[in-house]
Amino acid sequence: MKKYSAILIIFLTSCGAFCTAQTSQISIVEDFKPSTVNQPGQEYPQVNSQGYARFQIKAPDAKSVVVSLGLGGAKGGTELFKGENGFWTGTTAGSMDEGFHYYHVTVDGGVFNDPGALNFYGSTRWESGIEIPAHDQEFYALKNVPHGHVQQILFPSKSTNTSRRAYVYTPPSYSKEQSKRFPVLYLQHGWGEDETAWSNQGRVNLIMDNLIAEGKIKPFIIVMTYGMTNEIKWGGMASFKIEPFQTVLVDELIPYVDANFRTIANQPNRAMAGLSMGGMETHTITLNKPDVFSQYALLSGGIYTPEEIKDKSKVKLIFISCGSRENPDRVQTAVKGLKEAGLNAVSYVSDQTGHEFQTWRRSLKELAPLLFKN
């Protein structure tokens, strides 16, 4: 259990956008545009070509407005300043990392979301989100290609005595080829997130649609459900028991998916992946259930060691990734060891990103072509 405590610290303290903003003397280019994940018609927050973010919040009678994103001064984050029109405005002290970031606004000591931004489930609540345009953003852009569907399902769960929610991505060909069956990837979110994270902030459906349109992958189904991780508090990792979630996933969700979707319902055609704490869950469950999954992926979520793999013939792929601002040496060393032990292992390090969704979007793009190869 000590191992998990150590992993939790890595999960929760890795540098995200907060600590990577670059303070600099270069001048700010005034080409700010609304973030692509703003609410309809909202002008703020904005982002410029250098990756600076600018916020504007109306609160005419407030004494203090601070945004949690960015490298700020004494107050942390980005302090906003009040204009004569009652709007508070402020710009990050430097460029933010490319990709998606969560944030919130503190108004007179109360924590609220930015009324201009869409909300995304992270930190065990719906938070504001902002997109810093990335040099490689085409791979998760909405394009004029055939689109798969994302289905909300409610599956019966006897062990938790309720109907539980999951989202299922089906590729474009699923609704066209009514007799074809597909492999399945079970894909987990991280701590503080839920089953909406991979399709909302992760853009899993657009990443898949684009890869399929380019002929880079064999179409497969992706299933995302809540990993029951959010009861874990700081330092409480040792008390986390995998069994309740493993039961939901293996004994309840998988049979429901196999009964209600045209899956290829066997071990060679079933993979599991997870980010951060979802990686820890993937690690434990794949090792506990070698006859259920054949392909494993940990995204910023720990490593496998060769000694852990009891029957190497049952493992077709191990994929381990992280951001360059995390601990890439650990990932690369682990994969080297797995390869030396005769396993099909692949590492990936996302350049200039931390423990955030841009790392995981890229990881999925790298992982998908490796899955279900034969």
Q: Which residues bind its own copies (CB under 8 A)?
A: 39-42, 57-64, 86, 107-113, 115, 118-119, 124-126, 142, 144, 147, 149-156, 162-163, 168, 175-176, 178, 199, 205, 230, 259-262
State the residue for tokens 């904005």: 46
Minimum gap (Å) between residue 168 Cβ and its own copies? 8
Find the Cα–Cα–Cα–Cα dihedral 299, 198, 245, 242, rounded to 10°.
Answer: 20
Q: How far is the CB of 177 from its own copies (least distance, A)?
A: 11
| b/e code 261-277 from CB counts within 10 Å (16+ = b) | bebbbeeebbbbbbbbb
125/216 with CB nearer its own copies: 125
In angstroms, the CA 79 to CA 354 distance is 23
Nearest to its own copies of 109, 374 (CB atom): 109
CB of 1: closest distance to its own copies in angstroms? 25
- What whole-number distance in Å separates Cα of residue 74 and Cα of residue 17? 18
Look up residue 22 and give its DSSP letter.
Answer: P
Separation of CA 181 from chain center: 27
Provide, rounded to whole angstroms, the least separation between the CB of residue 104 and its own copies.
Answer: 9
Which residues make beta-bridge pairs with 347? 320
Q: Which of 22/159 has CB closer to its own copies?
A: 159
Query: Please, what is the minimum distance in Å from the beta carbon of residue 8 to its own copies?
Result: 20
Which C-beta is closer to its own copies: that of 29 or that of 259?
259
How far is Cα 194 from Cα 129, in angstroms, rounded to an integer? 15
Compute the least distance from the CB of residue 85 to its own copies, in Å.
11
Beta bridge partners of 225: 166
CB-CB contact of 315 with 343 (8 Å): yes
Residue 356 burial by CB count (10 A; 0-12/13-18/19+): exposed, middle or buried? buried
Q: Among residues 195 and 326, whose Cβ is nearest to its own copies? A: 195
Which CB, 73 or 156, lies closer to its own copies? 156
Output the smallest distance, CB 307 to its own copies, in A: 38
Q: Which of 109/215 has CB closer to its own copies?
A: 109
Order of strands across the sheet with 33-34? 33-34, 46-47, 53-58, 87-91, 81-82
Q: Could you tell me which residues are beta bridge partners of residue 224?
A: 167
Q: How far is the CB of 317 from its own copies (least distance, A)?
A: 29
Q: Could you tell me the smallest distance in angstroms from the CB atom of residue 35 to its own copies?
A: 15
CA distances from 82 to 30, 42, 44, 107, 251 (A): 20, 19, 15, 12, 55
Which residue number, 192 or 323, has a Cβ lying nearer to its own copies?
A: 192
Q: Given the complex with its own copies, which of 89 and 113 has the nearer CB atom? A: 113
Collapse the DSSP code of 176 into the 3-class scheme (helix H, G, I; strand E, B; otherwise coil) and give the result.
Answer: coil
Q: What angle do CA 122, 210, 33 make, to 5 degrees?
A: 60
